[in-house]
Structure 1
Amino acid sequence: MKNLLCLLLALALCSGPVASAVKWASPASAHPAVHYDDMLPVTAFDETALLSALKELESTCSRHSRDRGSRETRRRVQALYEQIMEETDLLATLANLSAIQYDASGGAPEEAALYLELSAQQTRLTSRCYQALAVMAASPYGDILDADAGEGAADSLMGYRGLTEEEAALYEEEDRLIQTYDQIMEQGVPVLAEGRIWTAESLESAGVDGETYEAVSQALAEERYRAAGEVYLQLVRLRAEQAQWAGYDDYAEYAYEALYTRDYGLEDAADLHRLAKRYILPLQLRLLEETSEQELRALSVRSRMDGEEVLDAIQPFAEGFDREMGETFRFLRDHHLYDIEYGETKLPTGYTVALPAYGSAFIFNSPYGDYQDLSDTVHEFGHFFETFHCAQHDLWTDFNIDVGEIHSQTLELIFAGQAEELFGERYGEAYRNAVLYNILDSILDGCLYDEFQTAAYQNPEMTAEELNRLFKALSEDYGYSYGPGVDADPAWVENAHNFQNPLYFISYATSALSALDLWFLYLDRPREAKETYLELSALSLSMPYMAAVEEAGLRDIFEPETVPALSETLEEYLDGRPISYGEQRGGSAGRFEEILLILCFVLVTLGAVLRLRRAQRQRAERRRRDANDPWPSQESRETFRRSGPDPWSGQDKKPPWEL
């Protein structure tokens, strides 16, 4: 039987590692004005106070005595609960700060050791907290949980059994393997070639001839791919065990349902794969043909900026989009909640993480040094904006990646409208085409890697060579081409998501399609689109993707006609034709008002001319009132809990445009 706990635990374990002495502030409070420098250094987390509070909470809630429901006992339970929330928020914040330091250092040994230590600590303590809260849920004080975490929180914890030692060991081993992958990709693997041992570093300093350099480079690349592929095979088999512990037949099904809580399944995704190949690929190829290499090179030169210049370029857009968005952007800058400068040691990644102890978030990015730094930073600020305004206790953090990525990718598209002001007409158009290309790339690569990973996790006994052949065959279906004699491609190991965030990539495809939908609305009716964007940002990320899209009034991408319709609209845009989104949201009500005015005029005129009897006027008035409110009142909807995404990847989701 599938265990509900695996769902809670999967969500709890998705956040990164932690550590450091931090002054805590409730996520529900105003965002404290704390500069990033004051959050450092990152140190270990002292779990003494947390364990003491958990033990006392269990004892108090399980005690069978007359004072069990007294006001004094209730106040104590409330205080213990709040202390536990504070401590776990601190733990999560320190974990994420540790992750930032790890990535900024290039996975240096000291940061790597702290990362592993805190990750294991967070895994263990998260499970321990749920065990104690399950006791509270079964007591007369379960309503405290529902009041803070949302109706049904207490019920969801009933019967929580906690992580076994074997399960905890699987998660720790998973973290260790991911770090091994990071080290392989960052530092390479020594190789025996041309009669000696080579590393990437020794090759660069050796001063060898061109032929030797080429041969050794090829050997180093092959060994790097081989070693990373072996790590992936270990991860696939380990994750298969995780899925079995949770009661699933395979890890692909587990990831979709438990890890990412999607309200669409593998079959829906397979249909999307086919539609993307048929309708999206031709448009991407058209963009590739219509944007010259020379224009992209010139754009890259014009768009070289350091981190502060990137933020300077984005700030007027954020302030003009919405007052609250502008204030959030200024808070980001004033407190330096970002690391987006070039760093020689930085791992090639980008993301936004929550800092729940501060009711805030942090943007990390390893820049390209070209126009993509603008779009990547806009992308991550979309996540920051949502996280900043949806702060909640870490133990209750819930998120749906497919929803969160709509925020970020839509903002990329809308910001592209500012490109002409930044780069002039010619290169502004090149920037818009580049952003559009990357959005379509998100759809196609989202489907490609989803198809590839689904096959890998449903067939965990595949060899690395079989995976390389599979990736080459699938890549060709999505528009990639290879030279003669190439029958396998190991380049899939370059995509860190395959290792770090399995089955994540399809979320880029679903959200990019919805982002296109919202962007088309923006091109036709900007004000309405902004309202829809802010509406969507305010929705809880615990709301599943399809439900959130429906709530926002966007189209269902899994309906057979939606992807063809989106591709047709995009073709119209590329042809230079005006975009007409169709009926306004609530447009029917507007038409009824117009009809109503006409009807009133006609009735009044007829009444004056024909001297209608009083009874006729009364009947007409009743008809007018009925027409004025033709729709039944909307059903009241559940208020979903707000949350923030953690972690969010931006940099490694889309490779540089190949020139």
Structure 2
Amino acid sequence: MKFKDIPYKRVDMEEVKLSFFELIKEQKEAKSGEEQFEIHKKAYGLIDKVLTQMTICEIRHSGNTADEFYEKENDYYDEKKPEFDDLKLQYSKVLLESPYRPYLEEKIGKVAFKNIELQLKALNEELIPLMQEDNNLKSTYHKLIAGAKIDFNGEELNISLLRKYLTDSDRNVRKEAWSKLSGFFAEHSKELDDIYDKMVKNRTAQARKMGYKDFVELGYCRMNRNSYDRDMVKNFRDQVKKVFVPLATKVHEQRREALGLDSLKYYDNEMFFNNGNPAPIGTPEEILKWGKEMYSDLSLETKEFFEFMYENELFDVMGRKNKQAGGYMTFLPDYRAPFIFANFNGTSSDVDVITHECGHAFQGYVARNYEVEEHRDITMETAEIHSMSMEFFTDRYMEKFFGDRAEDYRKMHLADAIIFIPYGCMVDEFQHIVYENPDMTPDERKAAWMKLESEYRPHMDYENDPFFSKGGFWQRQQHIYVDPFYYIDYCLAQTCALQYRIKMDKDYGKAWESYLELCRLSAREFYEPMLNKVGLDSPFQDGCMKNIVEELTKTYF
């Protein structure tokens, strides 16, 4: 069924509540593990039904944040989703305390039960009002960003549509575009500071109600960090500072030389070539068509996947006014269908959608029919391996999208992957600082960001920009507002994707088989044992980053 034809009906949470209570009663009266699992399959059906309608609402609201109907529906779920999460948790607790838990663990998996334990540490009924408030703050932030009206060269643009000018080959054009972007954030800085300050204090209050010192531990529980902690993450960041920042600095110096500049400024930060970054040669419709051809050739599995996506119109990728910024992959459980949301804007990021988001969607498609639905419930540091690695596996097809600049794209893509890791770690350390010190003022947060810039991005020069030079750059990063502690997952995953880059240079077929096995493993294994099973080193392992730097330096630098 095409997405546009999928019907939407608001979830009646009172009916859902009664259904959960009935399932809980059945589970408590069950006489065997086998009977409990049969009841559990009914719970899958209930949860899938609710999540499908919530997801339809999310996609349609994201597509037009000014649509009054779906704005009201979104407000409804902002209020009701914490109640739904609490109902799921009450139900899961019965499984956790079941006398037949050994059978259920064998059937569903130890990872799933560890995740239930984390959820119990992350939520109780007392938190619902605070979680509802947090959801409202997220929606307020999304609406503010999506509603940006930036006047540039006589056009009224949102942030997504401005992006092509931020990477214009004419330095004066991109400087002016960055100035306009800075002006938007400066104009709304007080509002953004207030939203974030309320978020930090709200999340801290949630953590303290759960008995935690600060939000960091609660945030880790909510991210389902089921096999590593903040000390391991710090060790990873320390490795990045020691051996990866110097590599990134080398990449920035190569960029400076390629651009023919005496020094790099912040408006040069996303530029790689003096004649401009490679841009797609086709229309959005052609990019989708070429994506279909690419995935048809890559493997039988990707051919089947993309044809399903294409035929059912499971994309919303055209940039337009009032559309939420950014991109994501989500899943419609009742239809066993991934969905890709993005904003095409005429830059190379349009192709990244066809590689990155399709990496997510491909894994979702591979695992879509698993009987044990917990096996589809991957954590983010694993999910991002699927997407970032797919970017590298599809590198060989870039002539389709970039013509005679395909090799420029490949060079830019690798360089961008390298310089991203220090930035991503900086975002993560910033959030640790903020949530460990929740009473910081907005100015203190901005000062903390500038200090981290000097450690992770020493090349960065904001000149005298009135907003970015004062430590406001982080307010562009929606994950900091909406998905606390998510961003390090990109860094961990990029570390694994770079390992695949190195592997595929040696034996592409063997690397693809490892990747396909990773997709099929989904959430059956804990993070580090799963990496070991497919032949990847854990980013937490001492020496992992050093080995990657040595391999990349030997081959590319």
In structure 2, the partner of 1:646 is: none
| Deviation of the 1:86 alpha carbon | 1.4
Gaps of 5+ in 2: 157-177, 260-270
Alignment of 1:161-180 (within 5 A): 164-180=124-140
Q: CA deviation at 1:334?
A: 0.9
Please point out which of 502, 518, 527 is paired with 2:509: 527
1:415 is the counterpart of 2:397: no
Question: Which residue, out of 239, 256, 274, partners 1:275?
Answer: 239
Candidates 383, 402, 407, aligned match of 2:381: 402
- Structural mapping, 1:12-51, within 5 Å: 34-40=1-7, 42-47=8-13, 49-51=15-17
Change in Cα spacing, 1:350 to 1:217, as seen in structure 2 (3 Å) is closer
| CA distances 1:439-493 after superposition (whole Å, capped 9, x unpaired) | 1233122111011111111110111111111112212322222326976221211
The change in CA–CA distance for 1:350 and 1:170 in structure 2 (over 3 A counts) is: same
Q: How many residues align?
A: 515
Alignment partner of 1:88: what SS?
Answer: helix
Structure 2 CA distance for aligned equivalents of residues 569 and 117 of structure 1:
51
Confirm or deny: 8 A CA contact 1:174 1:238 kept in the other structure: yes
Matching of residues 568-607 of structure 1 within 5 Å: 568-575=550-557
Question: 2:173 corresponds to which residue?
Answer: none
Pairwise mapping of residues 332-351 of structure 1 onto structure 2 (< 5 A)? 332-351=309-328
Q: Which runs of 5+ in 1 are unaligned?
A: 1-33, 189-198, 207-213, 576-659
Q: Given residue 451 of structure 1, which amino acid in structure 2 is its aligned partner?
A: E
**Aligned position for 1:385:** 362
CA, structure 1 residues 172+421, in 2 after alignment: closer, same or farther (shift >3 Å)? closer
CA contact (8 A) 1:44 1:118 kept: no
Distance 1:81 1:550, change over 3 A: closer
Q: What is the letter of the counterpart of residue 448 of structure 1?
A: M
- Picking from 324, 332, 335, the partner of 2:301 is 324
2:165 corresponds in structure 1 to none
**1:348-403, CA deviations, whole angstroms, 9 ceiling, x for partnerless residues?**
11010111111221000012312221023210000001111223677786321111
Which residue of 1 is the match for residue 167 of structure 2? Answer: none
Using the alignment, how far apart are the partners of 1:267 and 1:153 within structure 2?
A: 23
SS at match of 2:394: helix
Cα offset for 1:333? 0.5
Cα deviation per residue 1:539-572 (whole Å; 9 max; x = unaligned)?
Answer: 2236343232212111233333221221122222
Other-structure match for 2:73:
114
Q: Which amino acid aligns with 2:2?
A: H
Q: Describe the shift of the 1:142–1:49 C-alpha distance in structure 2 as closer, same or farther (beyond 3 A).
A: farther
Q: Structure 1 residue 482 and structure 2 residue 441: aligned? A: no
CA contact 2:64–2:323 (8 Å) conserved in 1 = yes
What displacement does 1:404 show? Answer: 1.3
Distance 1:161 1:92, change over 3 A: same
1:566 equivalent in alignment to 2:556: no
Q: Is the 8 A contact 2:55 2:331 kept in 1?
A: yes
Q: Which residue of structure 2 lines up, in the alignment, with residue 444 of structure 1?
A: 422
What secondary structure is seen at the aligned counterpart in 2 of 1:453? helix
1:147 CA displacement: 7.3
Aligned 8 A contact 1:138 1:154 in 2: no
Q: What letter matches 2:144 in structure 1?
A: I
Closer, same or farther: CA 326–54 of 1 in aligned 2, 3 Å: same
Q: 1:321 to 1:288 in 2, by over 3 A?
A: same
Contact 1:382 1:411 in 2 (8 A): yes
Cα distance in 2 for residues equivalent to 1:102 and 1:156: 29
* TM-score of the aligned structures, taking structure 2 as reference length: 0.82
Using the TM superposition, give the Cα deviation of residue 503 of structure 1 relative to its aligned residue in structure 2, in angstroms. Answer: 1.1
Q: From 198, 202, 223, give the equivalent of 2:187.
A: 223
Q: CA RMSD in A?
A: 3.5
Q: 1:398 to 1:119 in 2, by over 3 A?
A: farther
Verify the 8 A CA contact 2:121 2:221 in the aligned structure 1: no
Q: Give the direction of change, closer, same or farther, for the CA distance of 1:507–1:157 in structure 2 (3 Å limit).
A: closer
My pick for the range that moved more, 312-321 or 431-440, is: 312-321
Give the distance between the partners of 2:181 and 2:258, measured in 1 at CA.
32
Which residue type is aligned with residue 381 of structure 2?
A: D
Aligned partner letter, 2:407: E
Counting aligned pairs with the same residue, the percent is: 22
Q: Which residue of 2 aligns with 1:289?
A: 256
Q: Provide the rounded CA distance (Å) in 1 between the counterparts of 2:66 and 2:19.
A: 34
> CA shift at 1:267, angstroms?
2.7
Structure 2 equivalent of residue 456 of structure 1: 434
The residue correspondences of 1:123-272 to structure 2 (distance < 5 A) are: 123-132=82-91, 134-135=93-94, 149-150=108-109, 164-187=124-147, 221-272=185-236
Is residue 255–residue 273 contact of structure 2 (8 Å, CA) maintained in 1? Answer: no
Deviations 1:55-97 (A, max 9, x none): 333444556xxxx7499xx97x777644432122011011111
- Contact between 2:514 and 2:534, CA under 8 Å: does it hold in 1? yes
What is the TM-score of this pair, normalised by structure 1? 0.70
Are the structure 2 counterparts of residues 133 and 553 from structure 1 closer, same or farther at C-alpha, using a change threshold of 3 Å? closer
Q: Deviations over 1:578-600 (max 9, x none)?
A: xxxxxxxxxxxxxxxxxxxxxxx
Change (3 A) 1:396 1:513: closer
Question: How big is the shift at 1:132?
Answer: 4.1
Larger of the two Rg values belongs to structure: 1
Offset of 1:217 from its aligned partner?
9.0
Cα distance between partner residues in 2 of 1:485 and 1:61:
61
* Stretch moving more, 480-489 or 541-550: 480-489
Select between 454-463 and 547-556 the one with higher mean Cα deviation: 547-556
Question: Any conservation in 1 of the 2:376–2:523 contact (CA below 8 Å)?
Answer: no
| Structure 2: distance between partners of 1:370 and 1:273 | 30
Corresponding residue for residue 515 of structure 1 = 497
Q: CA deviation at 1:232?
A: 0.8
Distance, in Å, in 2 between the alignment partners of 1:50 and 1:113 is: 20
